């Protein structure tokens, strides 16, 4: 866990986090995810094995560290498990708004 103060997530940081489709899908999955259920990568995020490999590399080297540095997630690298972090609830209202209105969003936004 970082030394970051919970409650310090700015609107700019929140929108920046959600700008990337991989990060957006991950945090949207954590919104309703039961930690006891096995999670899988949504099929519509990748089209082939090469793209899947690129996405996994980007997640491990860019997206998960960014979310972890802001305390949105906690990431157990040994077990490759991601759970909600202490600052996840700062992002929750925006995620719930997106979730409630996803049918109204343009194609490709989620």
Coil vs helix vs strand at 37: coil
Fold of 11-98: Arc Repressor Mutant, subunit A (1.10.10)
- For the chain, domain boundaries: 11-98
**pLDDT at residue 106, rounded to an integer:** 77
Structure tokens at 78: 């040994």
Confidence of residue 3 (pLDDT cuts 50, 70, 90): low
Give tens-digit pLDDT for 4-60: 565 678 889 899 999 988 898 889 989 886 554 545 455 555 567 777 788 888 888
Q: Check pLDDT > 60 for residue 101.
A: yes
Instruction: Tell me, yes or no, if the pTM score tops 0.85.
Output: no
Q: Check pLDDT > 90 for residue 89.
A: yes
Q: How far is C-alpha 82 from the chain's CA centre?
A: 9
Q: Taking Cα atoms as reference points, which of 17, 2, 6 lies closest to residue 94?
A: 17
Angle between the 21-32 and 11-19 helix axes, to the nearest 10 degrees?
Answer: 100
CA–CA distance, 53 with 17 (Å, rounded to integer): 21
Q: Taking Cα atoms as reference points, which of 95, 80, 21, 27 lies closest to residue 55?
A: 21
**pLDDT at residue 49, rounded to an integer:** 77
**pLDDT at residue 32, rounded to an integer:** 80
Q: Which residues pair with 81 in a beta bridge?
A: 76
């Amino acid at each position: 866990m970082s030394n970051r103060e919970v409650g310090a997530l700015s609107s700019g940081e929140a929108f920046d986090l959600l700008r990337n489709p991989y990060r957006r899908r991950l945090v949207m999955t954590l919104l309703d995810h039961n930690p006891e259920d096995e999670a899988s990568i949504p099929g519509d995020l990748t089209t082939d094995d090469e793209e899947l490999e690129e996405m996994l590399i980007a997640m491990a080297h860019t997206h998960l560290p960014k979310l972890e540095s802001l305390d949105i997630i906690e990431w157990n690298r040994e077990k490759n498990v991601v759970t909600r972090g202490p600052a996840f609830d700062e992002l929750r209202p925006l995620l719930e708004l997106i979730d409630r209105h996803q049918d109204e969003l343009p194609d490709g936004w989620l």
